[in-house]
Amino acid sequence: MTSVVVCGGSVIGLSTAMLLARDGHDVTVLERDPVGAPDHPRDAWNEWPRAGVAQFHQPHNIFPRVQLILDAELPGLTARLVDAGCYVWEPLTALPPALAGEPRPGDDRFHFPTGRRPTVEAVFAGAARHHPGVTVRRGVGVDGLLTGASVVDHVPHVTGVRTKGGDELRADLVVDAMGRRSPLADWLAALGARPPEMESEDQGFVYYTRYYAGDAVPPMFGPPLAPMGTFSLLTLPGDNGTWSVTLWAAASDPLLREVRDPEQFSNVVRACPLHAHWLDGDPITGVLAMAAILDKHRRFVVHGRPVVTGVVAVGDAWACTNPSAGRGISVGLVQAQCVRDAARDAFDDPVALAIRVDDLTEARATPFFWNQIHADRARIAEMDALRAGAEPPPPADPALALLQKAMPHDGDALRAAFEITMCLALPQEVFARPGFMDKLAAYADAESPPFPGPSRDDLAGILSG
């Protein structure tokens, strides 16, 4: 039986382990945090310490792409999420009829369960704990890679890992699921490998989040992610009667730093008419800040040649983006499928496996990364210009700008925007559909009023009071 070691036991690491185990591989997951998930996922928020995940209590989201993959690949997990109290979001149903239009066949593809990160991860941990072929070892950190004879000249071949306790675990394949701070690149440099191709940018965003609880998740009167000039507002349902409200802005904006104070946070949200009612609950946290958020992409095949064989990276260890888009779990699962599919094609050929993982990832997953990079660059440039009193730059993607104009008026455009936002389709795929751009062109002169909220002068008055 072939053996796999997965380094990292978060959602994507556990999912990759289960996908590979379903194909008959013997998979061991090594997770450095010693405490496992509680038996009841509903208890995870309060009872599960996850020191190794800095963003454990920051907002997370699950999109329909996640449910699509789970239902096809890991049946039963969607039901586990619902049983754990995850909120089943039906975004079209929540919209005013004038905007959503009449229900259509297939609209249920936009329905999905979502919840706070501790609850969601506890569900995946419980599933992995009982999954045939998966062994999860907690409290076991990885200290480095084991190597054997190279299968191609001047390219290290990984044959396992060395734990921080000094144990050596041999494996036919090592999967790096150690997140955005993965040391894999440093380990490869120590082996003399050529460096992976890497793109890393800190766009300069900072997030301020507060969680609330109440009898029901507030209704959606505005979009979950709403640009409000020099800040954006993100409102997300959670699980078990909880939800989160996030203000995100440029880290270089001193004015918005005042929202670290809970009263000031509430004052700003209360000034946003479509979102103020999201304060109508009991706060269960203070204002949680998160900054230094990197968009990072690592590619381990350079000019058609792998820099290493015997190890692949998944999830944030492969690529991570601005979390406000909520795409991390969705795109991570897409890429985990790429690894599983490549293993089906070429597990016994390490060079072919590395190249196949890269090919599938570049085709299916990497476009999501680059689309987000371009969106982040455009948004921070807009924030900076507005803060300086200058005219914002023109839209980076005219087609997306046209889609935004058409959404309030056209049901096809609205659903296409949902497909893009929820990772069901790439913009490139949507805009290539026959006749779709012609339909959007009819709305080129449509008004796109900003979401109602405080002006920059209003913000200054609110936050200086």
Examine the domain organization and report whether 129 and 263 are in the same domain. Answer: no
Beta strands in 32-167 (DSSP E): 87-89, 112-114, 134-138, 142-152, 155-163
Examine the domain organization and report whether 338 and 360 are in the same domain. Answer: yes
At 183-219, the pLDDT tens digits run 999 999 999 999 999 988 777 899 999 999 999 999 9
Phi and psi, residue 372, nearest 5°: -70, -40
**CA separation for the pair 225, 324 (Å, rounded):** 8
Phi and psi, residue 145, nearest 5°: -105, 145
Q: Max alpha carbon distance in the chain (Å)?
A: 68
Per-residue pLDDT band for 96 (boundaries 50, 70, 90) equals low
Residue after which a domain boundary falls, among 227, 257, 290: 290
State yes or no: pLDDT of 99 exceeds 80. Answer: no
Helix (H, G, I), strand (E, B) or coil at 90: coil
- What is the chain's mean pLDDT, rounded? 93
- Percentage, residues of the chain above pLDDT 90: 79
Examine the domain organization and report whether 210 and 315 are in the same domain. Answer: no
Looking at per-residue pLDDT, the higher value among 54 and 41 belongs to 41
Phi and psi, residue 347, nearest 5°: -60, -35
Looking at per-residue pLDDT, the higher value among 22 and 290 belongs to 22
Q: What are the C-alpha distances in Å from 157 to residues 146, 181, 184, 188, 192?
A: 8, 22, 13, 10, 11
Examine the domain organization and report whether 218 and 154 are in the same domain. Answer: no
Per-residue pLDDT band for 224 (boundaries 50, 70, 90) equals confident
**Number of neighbouring beta carbons within 10 Å of residue 195:** 12
Mean pLDDT, rounded, for 396-402: 90
Examine the domain organization and report whether 23 and 171 are in the same domain. Answer: yes
Q: Please name the residues in contact with 401: beta carbons below 8 A apart, sequence gap of 6 or more.
A: 395
Element (DSSP H or E) covering residue 417: helix 411-421
What pLDDT is recorded for position 51?
Answer: 85
Examine the domain organization and report whether 70 and 147 are in the same domain. Answer: yes
State yes or no: pLDDT of 181 exceeds 70. Answer: yes
At 103-150, the pLDDT tens digits run 889 999 999 999 999 999 999 999 999 999 999 999 999 999 999 999
**CA separation for the pair 31, 34 (Å, rounded):** 7
Examine the domain organization and report whether 235 and 382 are in the same domain. Answer: no
Q: Are strands 294-299 and 225-228 parallel, antiparallel or unpaired?
A: unpaired
pTM comes to 0.95
Examine the domain organization and report whether 348 and 378 are in the same domain. Answer: yes
- Calculate the dihedral angle through the C-alpha atoms of 350, 352, 354, 356, rounding to the nearest 10 degrees: -150
Per-residue pLDDT band for 338 (boundaries 50, 70, 90) equals very high
**Number of neighbouring beta carbons within 10 Å of residue 138:** 15
Examine the domain organization and report whether 407 and 368 are in the same domain. Answer: no
Most confident stretch, 26-35, 219-228, 408-417 = 26-35
Beta strands in 48-140 (DSSP E): 87-89, 112-114, 134-138
Domain count, the chain: 3
Q: Which amino acid is at 395?
A: P
- Asked if residue 302 lies in contact with residue 197, where contact means CB atoms within 8 angstroms, the answer is yes
DSSP labels for 341-403?
HHHHHHTT-HHHHHHHHHHHHHHHTHHHHHHHHHHHHHHHHHHHHHHTTPPPPPPS-HHHHHH
State yes or no: pLDDT of 100 exceeds 70. Answer: no
Residue after which a domain boundary falls, among 240, 256, 290: 290
Tokens for 86, please give them.
């995850």
DSSP classification of residue 239 = B
- Asked if residue 64 lies in contact with residue 109, where contact means CB atoms within 8 angstroms, the answer is yes
Q: Are strands 134-138 and 26-31 parallel, antiparallel or unpaired?
A: parallel
Nearest one of 3, 15, 25 to 335, comparing CA atoms: 15
What pLDDT is recorded for position 232?
Answer: 94
Examine the domain organization and report whether 259 and 298 are in the same domain. Answer: no
Tokens for 69, please give them.
């993959």
Examine the domain organization and report whether 28 and 63 are in the same domain. Answer: yes
- Calculate the dihedral angle through the C-alpha atoms of 169, 170, 175, 179, rounding to the nearest 10 degrees: 20
Chain-centre distance for alpha carbon 144: 27
Residue after which a domain boundary falls, among 365, 392, 419: 392
At 343-374, the pLDDT tens digits run 999 999 999 999 999 999 999 999 999 998 88
At 280-323, the pLDDT tens digits run 999 999 999 988 777 889 999 999 999 999 999 999 999 988 77
Q: Look up tokens 């979390």; give the residue.
A: 323
Examine the domain organization and report whether 137 and 32 are in the same domain. Answer: yes
Residue numbers of the domain that contains 430: 394-464
| Crossing angle between the packed helical segments 11-22 and 117-129, to the nearest 10 degrees | 30
Per-residue pLDDT band for 451 (boundaries 50, 70, 90) equals confident
